[in-house]
Structure 1
Amino acid sequence: MEKNVIKFSHCGKAIFCFFVPEQCPECGVSFSGKRLEEAPVSVPNPFSNGHKVLCAFLVAPTEANTLREFNGGSDLHTGITDTNGVVYNYTKNGVCRDHQGWERCISIPLVQPDMYNLINQWDQYLEKFSSAQMWDPLCQSFHEESHNCYSFTLTFINRVLATQSKRALSKDEFTRTFVLPRIKQASKYSLLCQEISKNHFYIVNSLKEDVRGGQSDGD
């Protein structure tokens, strides 16, 4: 089970850890009976269990990434969940329907909770789309650049947008607006966890922005 990251402030420093210590790791002052400069807060975890996020776009490290980390340079894989948490994703072998393996990923919900008509038809749309010849390896081969998992997910998203009379999103637009900000956030969070695991704490000067996505003085 992944540990939660906690942030608190003391002696002009922002201190990140998995638990609040008995004394300040920076100055050694005991916290017993004393107030912290800033109450400990939980840092939002950018990762989700993809099988519990319904009707969503998912991004996860590929199996080739043995550490399964978002480190900015690793290969990533994308998928779409149905209303039961099954992840549809396109590979060299065609469309896979995964019931497990996406327990730690980035998720982007694609449907609002009150969009009942779309939710009711979601699984039918997804299954019909996934059964099309263009995703059958016997009809069209997987291509790393032009016909891949990202092509599969984005094409499906645009098909759904079309049913709602909404304009299609280009690959660059979708990536820039929805995917990259979350990948950067996940990468920072992963690096933060690695530092805490190695040194018990990660200490920086006062932050200009919250770690949720902004730059800090320690970057």
Structure 2
Amino acid sequence: MQKSFISYEHCERRIFSFAAAYMCPICHFSVNPASEEVLEIPSPFLDKSEPMSVTLKPTDGLFLRDYKNGSDLHIGITNSKGEIFEFDSRGVSTGACWKQFLNIQIPVSTKKEEWDLILEKTSEKFKHERYDDSLMNCFSFVTSSLASIEEIAEFCKDKAVFSEKFLTESTKRAAKYISVYRHIEKYGFYII
């Protein structure tokens, strides 16, 4: 489970922190956390994958600690049991235990058996000899797998279209979360 933070209002401002403060960082007066409406802001990052989804993590390190805007990301896809399938210079592998990643549900009506068969067939085509950082990579593996699903095939032909349709919203939310999280970690709070 990834660390979440909380949000509450005081001095007509929204304050974010890991725990309710007993002194307002704005007015420096006492705050009664029990009297404030405290909202928990859950982390968008998971340590356990969900079935039939796309997974996304930094190629190196962890989102909250290491990721910088523009750093390379690694993408995978899960089967109906939630096992991550990924493609890299070693070929297709499964069973890796990813930490702190985004799990993105792709809205399809595909049955579990069909989804798993698609992954199996795509995995057979993606051999380590074919791997290329730019042309035949983890993203190619995921979009090739999903291109077999008729209802979303049109979005899988182009990486930019696929990203905009399925990944952008989650990655923007993650970027905001990382920014606020790091600010809280550094200063103890974040105020808007």
Q: Is TM > 0.5 for Structure 1 vs Structure 2?
A: yes
Are 2:129 and 1:153 aligned? no
Instruction: Tell me how many residue pairs correspond in the alignment.
Output: 190
Aligned residue number for residue 111 of structure 2: 118
For 2:132, which of 139, 143, 146 is the aligned residue? 143
Higher mean alpha-carbon deviation, 24-33 vs 71-80, is at: 24-33
Matched residue, 1:212:
none
- Please state whether the residue corresponding to 1:168 is helix, strand or coil: helix
Correspondence 1:130 to 2:123 = yes
Find the counterpart in structure 2 of residue 25 from structure 1.
Answer: 25
Question: 2: distance between equivalents of 1:131 and 1:7?
Answer: 47
Confirm or deny: 8 A CA contact 1:71 1:187 kept in the other structure. no
Root mean square deviation of aligned Cα: 2.4
Q: Paired residue for 2:154?
A: 168
Cα distance in 1 for partners of 2:53, 2:30 equals: 46
Unaligned runs of 5+ in 1: 205-219
TM-score if structure 2 supplies the norm length? 0.87
Change (3 A) 1:150 1:34: closer
For 1:58-78, what per-residue CA distance to the aligned partner results, in whole angstroms no more than 9, with x for missing partners? 111113679764432211000
Unaligned runs of 5+ in 2: none
Contact 2:106 2:166 in 1 (8 A): no
1:9 corresponds to: 9
Structure 2 CA distance, aligned partners of 1:192 and 1:110? 27
Larger Rg: 1
Distance 1:6 1:203 in 2: 12
The structural deviation recorded for 1:175 is 0.8
Select 1:78's aligned residue among 75, 81, 96.
Answer: 75
Provide the C-alpha distance between the structure 2 equivalents of 1:33 and 1:78, rounded to a whole number of angstroms.
40
Judged with a 3 Å threshold, the aligned counterparts in structure 2 of structure 1 residues 120 and 167 are, in CA distance, closer, same or farther, namely: closer
Pairing 1:51-130 to 2, within 5 Å after superposition? 51-63=48-60, 69-100=66-97, 102-110=98-106, 115=109, 118-130=111-123
Q: Equivalent pairs: percent with the same residue? A: 28
Counterpart Cα distance in 1 of 2:62 and 2:46: 18
CA distance in 2, matches of 1:17, 1:54: 32
CA offsets per residue over residues 69-121 of structure 1, 9 Å max, x none?
44322110000011222111110111111331x23111111255xx4x61133
| SS of match in other structure, 1:77 | strand
TM-score (norm 1): 0.77
Tell me, yes or no, if the aligned pair for 2:21 and 2:33 is still in contact at 8 Å: no
